Amino acid sequence: MQTNATYTSLVAVGDSFTEGMSDLLPDGSYRGWADLLAGRMAALTPGFRYANLAVRGKLIGQIVAEQVDVAAAMRPDVITLVGGLNDTLRPKVDMGRVRGLLEEAVERLAPACEQLVLMRSPGRNGPVLERFRPRMEELFGVVDDLAKRHGALVVDLYGAPSLSDPRMWDVDRLHLTPDGHRRVAEAVWQTLGLPPEDPDWHAPVPSTPPPGWTARRTADVRFARQHLLPWIGRRLTGRSSGDGRPAKRPELLPYENPQGRAPGTA
């Protein structure tokens, strides 16, 4: 890690987490941590360029097939790679295959950039996390091992108390709120050796009175109707929320903050 490093370009590779769901903008598009990070980096470096190849719903095999070579060909200063978590959430998964594909991705990306950044993805406290925790931690062990072997940085979001708090997660319980994305951007920013804006991004969120029983049950019903049942339907029919969707920002071009937002603001 360089202290007060200067970077001129960023390419983000991944799935819905990197695409920016559920950090919704007024025009219906998503912003997310990678856009926030790019905005802050652009404020330091005139002409800063940014591409975001992420597409929601992608498995690690699809990320390798569709995004990795594109990102490597761009030869940016920084590449972020987050993938494999969608695989671990499937009813059946071959973790050996996931390991091999992640290794393939890192072997292609690490030589193509000045700094490769990997992540231990955050997990929302609750029954879903407990069910899939062993797979997730196996995945993060692979991430740590690959980082050591290839000189990549690892951003530990999984170990951050703030990001396990249910209040940092949208109603779909799969994607972070705008404040959650802001904290991820801060985490990557600091890991790259840039001066902190929020040194306590990882700290537990101040406590608030828990919602009552009726509010919790209403939220459960809404979650099941709007998000869980459609997700199950896609799994049963072999479809993905990202089918037919293009990359979020497919070209490495100069980046300007959308809608005039100051870098780092929510």
The b/e string for 169-182 (b: 16+ C-beta within 10 A; e otherwise) is: bbebbbbbbbbbbb
- For 71-97, write each residue's pLDDT tens digit: 999 999 999 999 999 999 888 899 999
Long-range contacts of 212-215 (CB under 8 A, 24+ apart): none
Of 192 and 244, the structure prediction assigns the larger pLDDT to 192
Mean of all residue pLDDT scores within the chain:
88
Nearest of 50, 20, 64 to residue 266 by alpha carbon: 20
Q: Can you tell me the distance from the alpha carbon of 70 to that of 99, in angstroms, rounded to the nearest whole number?
A: 21
Angle formed by the axes of helices 127-150 and 95-109, to 10°?
A: 40
In the predicted structure, residue 157 carries a pLDDT above the cut 70 = yes
Phi and psi at residue 117, to the nearest 5°: -120, 125
**Model pTM?**
0.86
Beta bridge partners of 78: 10, 115
pLDDT digits (tens, 9 = 90+) for 116-154: 999 999 999 988 788 889 999 999 999 999 999 999 999
3-state secondary structure of 97: helix
d(CA 238, CA 215): 33
Task: Evaluate if residue 218 carries a pLDDT over 70.
Answer: no
Band of pLDDT at residue 263, cut at 50, 70 and 90: very low
**Residue of 97, 95, 118 whose CA lies nearest to 106:** 118
Joined tokens for residue 41: 């980096």
Of the candidate ranges 2-6, 40-44, 174-178, 248-252, the one whose mean pLDDT is the lowest: 2-6
Residue 235 is given by DSSP the state H
